[in-house]
Amino acid sequence: MKYKLVGLICALSMVIGQAFAMPSSTVGDRVPLKPNELTTRQKVITVPAMTKFSVLTTYELNSNALLTGQTVTVALPENFSYNGVLVAPKGSVLTGNVIEAKKARQNGTDGKLDMRFSLITTPYGLQIPIVAIIKTKDLSGVLVGNNEQEKRETIAKLTKSNPDLDDMLLKTIWNFGENVIVPANTKLDIVLTQPITITPIQYK
């Protein structure tokens, strides 16, 4: 009888201990965060298609040098937020691919550059899949070389330095198409073509 009583007391102690034990998730939440550690909120939001944000080129993008299929990257110069919720912080990198790159030609055909971005990688290593293009007036995402002002300035310089320059040569220069050239440190607008669903992130 004595041993049965001891066993019953032990069993009751285990039941009571489990009843008052804190859930493992709560215990984990109480662990102090390290500086700049990434945490997530238990909430999911959808960033709709046609949402616009800015990026910065880190090197020159040139339709004369880039190849179809080549990987390209640009950076976020500022936080990308939607309705006050942080989607990706400043310093994140967008990765994409060249869908089409055409060089300018002498028959007046301008160069073309079409890029699609598929991933945002934050400084903390978080990866956010996206489908996005560079914002253009026709919403195609295709950049086309067309800088007549630059042609005029080039011809003006040539004729000034050499007044007897052949008219046929000047006409050839004028008729030569323009390549798409986006210099480094150029700010571009990016547009999502498909919505993205994310868990909002915050930085301590």
Where in the chain are the domains? 39-145+180-203
Distance CA 71, CA 99 (A): 10
Provide the CATH number for the domain formed by 39-145+180-203 in this structure: 2.40.128.260
Going by pLDDT thresholds of 50, 70 and 90, the confidence category of residue 98 is: very high
Model pLDDT for residues 183-195, shown as the tens digit of each residue = 999 999 999 999 9
Q: Which pair of tokens denotes residue 126?
A: 């978080």
Among residues 122, 145, 157, 151, which one has the least CA distance to residue 65? 145
Report yes or no: 166 and 33 within 8 Å, Cβ to Cβ. Answer: no
More reliable by pLDDT, 18 or 118 = 118
Q: Which pair of tokens denotes residue 97?
A: 């691919």
Q: What is the pLDDT of residue 26?
A: 37
Model pLDDT for residues 122-144, shown as the tens digit of each residue = 999 999 999 999 999 888 999 98
Distance CA 55, CA 75 (A): 5
Report yes or no: 196 and 127 within 8 Å, Cβ to Cβ. Answer: no
Q: What is the pLDDT of residue 6?
A: 46
